[in-house]
Amino acid sequence: MKKLIILFTALSVVLSTVTAQTRYTAAVWKENSSYTIKPPIKNWKKDFSVTYEVDNNGGGYFCLIKHASFFYTPPIPIPSPTGSIFRVKITGAGYTFNVTDIYVVDDFAFFCGSCYDLFLHETSAMWGYFDLNEFFTTSVDVQFYKLQDGMGLTGGVAPLLLDRLVAYNYGGRYDVVAYSRVSSPCSKIIEIQDAKASAPVCKTYDLPVSMPPVPMWVMYIDDISEDESHVIVSGHDLRIPSAETVWYGIYKKADIGNSISSGWTFSLSPVERPNGSVICTGMGRTEEFALSYTYYDNIMDAWYTRMRVINTWTGVNVNSQQFAKDYKPEPLQMTYLPDLSSVELVQDLGSSAAFVQMFPFVSTSYTTSALNHAARYFDNIDAIEGHHFITCNERNVYIQDRTMNLPASAAACPDNYSVKVEIIPNLSESPTSFSSLDLSSRQWNNRANVIPDVLGVDCFSVE
């Protein structure tokens, strides 16, 4: 009997060890002082993420960060999760670069921004791509394209900068949709069809704007996202006398121009005014996407962050939520976590940022959590598979498991507080449309060696 008790006890210890494995729940890595990360950061195949950096001399680098150790069960005693980085320096071709966004689809990283011609002394909008698998070789070939004005009667005017982009694989063809937020006299949506072809087709869709002597109406683009079937664009307009409204576009993939001309750009009822940018996120294979913006209630003398859920196939506002703040908040970016059916919203806190977990399909009021790393300002976010997200700032890379117990095991990694979210009435919508013009592009490439390095650990938590 004594042997049986000892055997049972030993077996219980083994089983409890197997069923209660330790895991990392949050980690912040730090870059060394020679490099500055230029957000955003985009995940690739869970264990890797891609971003852009500049060195102290202004040189630019595309970077692949390996953070695989975060997702493995750590040994006992628990070590710090390791992070390594691989850089490719962008040189030559007679240009300097400003990379504003990156988007990963399959094994390719597409990017956009602007380039400055050192010989002609002029700035142009720029986009390009590279194969992420080449980071595992000795060098990476980066393809660049400079947007140029179109020719003939259908020729459009190219913007000087592309702010953000999405890319997608449609039947083996890679398309890119980007936007230029402020480009005189109007904001522009840029579509690049078959982006990896030798001669991709480029089109510009110029948003409506009233003209001189004084512009009485201007539509601004604030964000872009995509889901399984559509590209989603969101923004706000300015009117004189002032009557700002929320607007959004729902454009079928590989049929952007027809969607735009058929009236799939909507404005929400002007009974309320957004106070600043209107951001958006697609939600995978669901039939909805989410919008978020700041609203000031004059009667209540209070600031609110509002989220409105829109049906992708009808353009109708089907669910609406808000939470109050005692100052003006600014929604920065959102991403969708499919395992949790939640949207993670990055919100400006001044010297830092909050990551607020919201549930877009919930129809009753609820209490949620906001995560914060004091004195670290993050303004971007990307999902890692079903329930993790990643973000970065000038010096740090931060990964979070959103299923963690709160508070964290390590103080302030991350800190958290509660947020009360209430349901509010939906708004009606009205459609508008506009047309397209052609652009051209000039291509060149840059092949550079891969340079490995390591990241330092700033903090981490486990459970």
Q: Helix and strand tally (H, E) in the chain?
A: 2, 31
Render 283-300 in DSSP notation, one character per residue: -TTSSEEEEEEEEEETTT
Above 90 in pLDDT, residue 118? yes
State the first-to-last Cα distance of the chain, in angstroms, to the nearest integer.
Answer: 36
Residue 183: per-residue pLDDT: 64
Residue 237: per-residue pLDDT: 87
Mean pLDDT of 396-406: 97
Instruction: Give the pLDDT band (50/70/90) at residue 2.
Output: very low
d(CA 205, CA 154): 12
Residue 304: per-residue pLDDT: 97
Is position 191 within any domain?
no
Give me 345's structure tokens.
Answer: 């919203």
Is position 426 within any domain?
yes
Is position 49 within any domain?
no
Residue of 427, 428, 353, 364 whose CA lies nearest to 389: 353
How do strand 288-297 and strand 279-282 relate by DSSP bridges?
antiparallel
Above 50 in pLDDT, residue 17? no
Instruction: Give the pLDDT band (50/70/90) at residue 21.
Output: confident
Q: Coil, strand, or helix at residue 383?
A: strand
Task: Give residue-wise pLDDT tens across range 150-189.
Answer: 988 889 999 999 999 999 999 999 999 999 997 667 899 9
Instruction: Report whether 92 contacts 76 (CB < 8 A).
Output: no
Q: Coil, strand, or helix at residue 387?
A: coil
d(CA 221, CA 206): 11
Is position 392 within any domain?
no
Instruction: Report whether 371 contacts 358 (CB < 8 A).
Output: no
Task: Give residue-wise pLDDT tens across range 65-96.
Answer: 999 999 999 999 999 999 999 999 998 789 99
Instruction: Report whether 366 contacts 359 (CB < 8 A).
Output: yes
Query: ∠ CA 311-315-317 to the nearest 5 degrees?
Result: 65
Residue 92: per-residue pLDDT: 75
Above 70 in pLDDT, residue 14? no
Residue 9: per-residue pLDDT: 38
Task: Give residue-wise pLDDT tens across range 369-380.
Answer: 999 999 899 999
Mean pLDDT of 126-130: 98
d(CA 139, CA 88): 8
d(CA 278, CA 223): 7
Is position 138 within any domain?
no
Give me 190's structure tokens.
Answer: 């840029």
d(CA 325, CA 305): 8
Within 10 Å of residue 280's Cβ, how many Cβ atoms? 25
Within 10 Å of residue 79's Cβ, how many Cβ atoms? 11
Is position 423 within any domain?
yes
Name the more confident of 130 and 217. Answer: 130
Is position 152 within any domain?
no
Mean pLDDT of 305-326: 97
User: Which residues lie below 8 Å from residue 299, measured CB to CB, with a gap of 6+?
Assistant: none
Classify residue 212 as exposed, middle or buried by CB count within 10 Å of its CB (0-12, 13-18, 19+). Answer: exposed
Tell me phi and psi for residue 7, to 5 degrees: -65, -45
Q: Which residue has the tokens 């959004």?
A: 248
Within 10 Å of residue 287's Cβ, how many Cβ atoms? 15
Residue of 48, 26, 70, 46 whose CA lies nearest to 401: 26
HEC secondary structure over 185-218: CCCEEEEEECCCCCCCEEEEEECCECCCCCCCEE
For 163, half-sphere exposure in the C-beta direction (CA atoms, 13 angstrom radius) is 15
Instruction: Give the pLDDT band (50/70/90) at residue 212.
Output: low
Mean pLDDT of 4-28: 56
- Across 14-23, 119-128, 208-217, which has the greatest mean pLDDT? 119-128
Residue 1: per-residue pLDDT: 41
Mean pLDDT, the chain, rounded, equals 92
Classify residue 275 as exposed, middle or buried by CB count within 10 Å of its CB (0-12, 13-18, 19+). Answer: middle
Give bridge partners of residue 50 from the DSSP assignment.
42, 64
For 339, half-sphere exposure in the C-beta direction (CA atoms, 13 angstrom radius) is 10
Is position 222 within any domain?
yes
Task: Give residue-wise pLDDT tens across range 244-293.
Answer: 899 999 999 999 999 999 999 999 998 888 999 999 999 999 999 999 99
Task: Give residue-wise pLDDT tens across range 338-377.
Answer: 999 999 999 999 899 999 999 999 999 999 999 999 989 9
Domain that holds residue 255: 208-373+414-433
Q: Coil, strand, or helix at residue 152?
A: coil
Its pTM stands at: 0.93
Residue of 395, 400, 371, 396 whose CA lies nearest to 384: 400
Q: Side chain identity at 51, as an amino acid letter? A: T
Mean pLDDT of 405-425: 95
Mean pLDDT of 15-21: 45
Residue 242: per-residue pLDDT: 60
Instruction: Give the pLDDT band (50/70/90) at residue 334.
Output: very high
Q: Side chain identity at 174, as an amino acid letter? A: Y
Above 50 in pLDDT, residue 383? yes
Number of structural domains found in the chain = 1
Above 60 in pLDDT, residue 307? yes
DSSP, res 241: S
